[in-house]
Structures are given as structure tokens and as C-alpha cells.
Amino acid sequence: MKKTKTVCLSAILIAVALTACGKSSTAADTEMAGASYKMAAPEMNYAAESDDIVDYDYEEAAADEGYGEVSSKGSEAGEVTESGAAANSDRKLIRTVNMSVETLEYDALIGAVKGKVNQLGGYFESINEGKSTYSNNVRYASLTIRIPRENADNLIEVMEQQSNITSRSENISDVTLDYVDKESHKKTLKAEEARLLKFMEEAESVEDLISIEARLSDVRYQIESMESQLRTYDNKINYTTIYLDISEVEKITPQEEPGFLQHIKEGFLDSLSDAIDIVKNIFAWFIINSPYLVLLAIFALLVFLIVLRPIIKKIKKSNEKSRQAYLEHVRQRQEAQQNQNQTQQQAQNPQPQPQPKPAQSTQTPAHVEAKDNKDTNKENK
């Protein structure tokens, strides 16, 4: 009899486990599990307990909870069939808003946003602020705001009034089906936990007690997991998440497209302003980095004097020698060419031989001799 009870109790535990893990199974599967459970325990009066094993129809559960009819496409598609305004208000919707704004008064806008968030019961999940060094020191901030869903529109209205919205996007995700699914699963696990506690009181052997405790531990772990997921959903549903990017600007971006001439005028002024900013930034960069530039210039001068200058002198000297050798070579070639040309000309045009000169007489002419004699006589007198 004791062995029979042990077998029956084991069959009951198996049936309960199949019920807890089969939340997405069909109704037929659950009825078969329940039938197996009843057939496995005929001698033990667990008929009352077996009535607790039910197959949850999550769409019916959603309707019972007041969520309306949920589309069979699931929460990812976000398609919900409305059954009335009241049902729509009970849906589990996660709202996310992304906004980018610009302002001329950065400090005033940041202060207004922080004050309004605190006033509406929200909080900042993250705040990142910075300053651009190369864009006239303009400031910017990226804020992640969590605010009660009923007050989210109030904060958005404040942003529309006190800043210029350059971009805005909004996403609403319907998680009603998944939420109801997890709630139903949690209820099933709670019922199984209660039955396991009752079975533990009626256990007659250590083996039965160990099996029940092992299953009870697993069930309680699943319950805690379901409760954690439901708390996360509740936080996302009850608080709208707003991602806000704030930029400080010198000129507000126009909301409407300008005309042709206005477009040319604004484009020219923007280009001129950008050119002035570039010149200012370059000048500021040189002033800011002047100590580094001076050190770099000194280092370059030392490298030139110690390393490069001797090398340059050697190169110049080598080049001068090469130049002189080249000029000498050219001169020799020119002389050789001239000699060759003269030889060719002489070979082509031979010069005539010179005529012999007549022999000069060694005798003195008679009149010259007579004159010399007269002169000699005069000297003697």
C-alpha cells in the first residue's frame, strides 16, 4: 500500500509539472495531462486537488482582467482590437519618446526641464552634459527622463513652448498579451506551490519529501522570475521614457522652408559666419598650442644644425667636384672636337707651298758708297 501511494504521488507531481511548463500548450494537451493525473491517483483522494489543474486561456484571461481582446499576432506587432475606451485604458502600453531641441538660453531651459520633471513626479535616469571646444563653446546635453505616463504630455508641452524642436519620434509598444501570459503563469505556479505544500504535509517517506521539496524549489524560483519580469513591465508601463537632446545654438533653425532669395541670403551669411569661425579657430589653435610649436621649432633647428647641416655641406662639396669634373670633361671634348675639325678641313683644302724669296745682294750701291766717302772727307777736314 505504501509503494502504491508513492507511485501515485510521483504521478501527481509529474502531472503538476507538465501543467506549469505547458502554459503555451493547447487545451487538448492539458486535458490529457489532467486525465493522466486522475488515472494515476485513483486510491488517493486528490480529486479536489486535480480540479486546480486548469488550462489557462490567456486571451480569455485578458478579457476577464479588463484588457479587451488581444490580437493573435502578439505584442510585437502591437495590434490590439479595441472593445471600448475602458478596455483601451487598461492595456499595457510602453511609450518611448525621442526629442531633439535647440535653444538660445541653455541654462534657462535646463533649469526649467529639471524643475518640471521633479514637479511631475519623474526622475532622471541619466544626464550627460558637454561643451564643444571648436564651435564657439556651445553646450549640449543628453537626458534620459522617466516620468509618469499621465504627466508625459505636460513635459512635452513645456519643451514645445521653451525650445525649438528639430526632431521628434514616438513609439508605443503593446505588451498586454505577454503581461497577461506572465500573470496567468504566475497564478498557475502559485496554485502548484500550494498543492506541493499540502503534499509535503501528507508525505510518508523521505523520498517523497525530497521529491516534493525539489519541485517546490523550482516552482518558487519560477514564481520569483515571473514577479521580477512583471515588476519590470510595470515600471516601463507606468513611466514614459523620454530621450531628450538639447543643443545650444546662436541661431534658431527656421521651421518653414525659406524662399529662393532668402535661401541664398541665409546660405551666404551662414558661409561667411563659418569662414569667420574657421579663422578664429585657427588663430585660437595657434595661440593655444604656441608653447608646443616653439619647442617643435627649437628641436627642428637643433636637428638642422647638428645633423642636416654637415650632410648638406658634404653634398654641396661633392656636387661642386662633380661639376668641375664635368666641366673639364666638356672642355676636353670641345678641344678634341676642334682639333678634329681642323684636321678634316686641312685634309679637304690643302694650302699652296710658299714661293722662295730672292737672295739679297751684299754689295753696297755706288751712290750710297759715294755719299759715305763725302761724309768721311768732311769729318777729316
Is residue 202 in a domain? yes
Cα→Cα distances 322→257, 308, 328, 330, Å: 72, 21, 10, 12
The amino acid at residue 116 is K
Is residue 349 in a domain? no
Is residue 369 in a domain? no
Q: 289: which DSSP letter?
A: T
* CA of residue 308 relative to chain centroid, distance: 45
Co-location of 266 and 229 in the same domain: no
* Longest alpha-carbon distance in the chain: 205
The range of the structural domain enclosing residue 208 comes to 2-66+177-238
How many angstroms separate the CA atoms of 208 and 215, rounded?
11
Strand, helix or coil for residue 81: strand
Co-location of 286 and 231 in the same domain: no
Is residue 160 in a domain? no
Is residue 11 in a domain? yes
Is residue 342 in a domain? no
Kindly give the confidence (pLDDT) of every residue in the chain, 381 residues in length, as a single tens digit, with 9 standing for 90 and above: 444 445 455 555 555 455 444 443 333 333 333 333 333 333 333 333 333 433 444 445 555 555 544 443 333 334 444 444 445 567 899 999 999 999 999 999 999 999 999 999 999 999 999 887 666 678 899 999 999 999 999 999 999 888 999 999 999 999 999 999 999 999 999 999 999 999 988 888 899 899 999 999 999 999 999 999 999 999 999 999 999 999 998 888 766 666 677 768 777 877 887 788 788 888 888 899 989 989 999 998 888 888 888 888 888 888 888 888 888 888 888 888 888 888 887 777 765 555 555 545 444 455 545 555 555 555 554
Co-location of 234 and 266 in the same domain: no
Domain count, the chain: 2
Is residue 102 in a domain? no
Query: Which of 238, 254, 278 is a domain's end point?
Result: 238
Q: Which helix (DSSP H) or strand (DSSP E) does residue 173 occupy?
A: strand 164-174
Co-location of 9 and 54 in the same domain: yes
Is residue 347 in a domain? no
